[in-house]
A and B are shown apart, each in its own frame.
Chain A
């Protein structure tokens, strides 16, 4: 299945603006991010704690829904999903 990953703000420095990936069926967002992290260690250290947990203020959207309100890292991916990775932007 085809998955599009869009990076925003600082994350673009690590993986570029957008990548299209062809991945096997029955993959979760957590598995996909782990694979991307293996390819881009700087992104991994920005997004994950040293013990491999996603930092809890990072926003990952699948088709506009924050995975924190889906099944978190166990959220299954489906063909055509668009994933957006946003670091926190909180100032005013």
Chain B
């Protein structure tokens, strides 16, 4: 590891070790969704020196995004989120590789998006797409870091094929799509938890939120853990 990296990541190498930092440098991560959660997660992972980030989203920046999607500014309104976020993150950390993909995440595109990554961050805004990603992540044996938010509430859990419940073991149905209320700080909390989980899984440090659903209630100022279990009859993982 060169002097630049030793300086840049000095304050976390003391936590993760040089080997851990090298693991981050080698890591390839898909951030699925570049909204309230995705911008936060991607910023922390880029700043931490994750070597390759693929950012996938097919939306364009809207004015109503600016209360929480901190990578975007008024000048970005109308631009493709994946492109604008890539540019901002490149400025944040020019030493890493960032690829912005302006595509819908669906049955057609998922294989291509995940083909060469080590880990997936679920920063999506709907469960229909989450369930697609969950199935593919399970088939490819890729860890998936789930996060979701609404209002002052948010949740996160780490799904590791063969070790934990998958998303479909925990959640049964896709709630109807809605224009949900959201405070930016909620995305900050959950996005930061997801980034922490990703770094832990990639470096082998700490105890991931495996079979544990972290729930953040910003209204009460309280985080709780609910233990989750595999469904032995799960249509995706069959409890495997």
Contact = CB atoms under 8 A, between A and B. Distances in A.
A57 B228 CA distance: 17
A9 B149 contact: no
Main secondary structure of the interface of A (DSSP, over half): mixed
B1 interface: no
A54 B209 CA distance: 29
Interface in A43-92: 56-57, 59, 61, 63-66, 68-69, 84, 86, 88-92
A91 B123 CA distance: 8
Contacts of A9: 150-151, 153, 215, 217
A91 B125 CA distance: 4
Given A89-B155, A90-B180, A91-B36, A65 B231 contact: yes
B154 interface: yes
Contacts of B176: 57
Contacts of A89: 148-150, 153-155
Given A89-B148, A89-B153, A91-B180, A56 B227 contact: no
Nearest to A84: B226
Contacts of A65: 228-229, 231
A12 B215 CA distance: 13
B15 interface: no
A64 B48 CA distance: 33
Contacts of B33: 92
Interface residues of A, number: 23
B228 A61 contact: yes
A40 interface: no
B169 A90 contact: no
Nearest to B229: A64
A89 B228 CA distance: 16
Interface string A1-16: 0000010111010000
B175 A88 contact: yes
A21 to B, nearest CB: 18
A57 B174 contact: yes
Interface string B172-192: 111110001010000000000
Nearest to B212: A64
Given A59-B172, A91-B149, A8 B36 contact: no
10 contacts: A6-B224, A9-B153, A57-B176, A63-B227, A66-B170, A66-B171, A69-B233, A88-B175, A90-B174, A92-B126
Given A6-B226, A63-B227, A91-B150, 9 more contacts: A9-B150, A56-B173, A65-B228, A68-B172, A88-B127, A89-B148, A90-B126, A90-B175, A91-B149
Interface of B: 33, 35-38, 122-127, 147-151, 153-155, 169-176, 180, 182, 211, 215, 217, 220, 224, 226-229, 231, 233-234
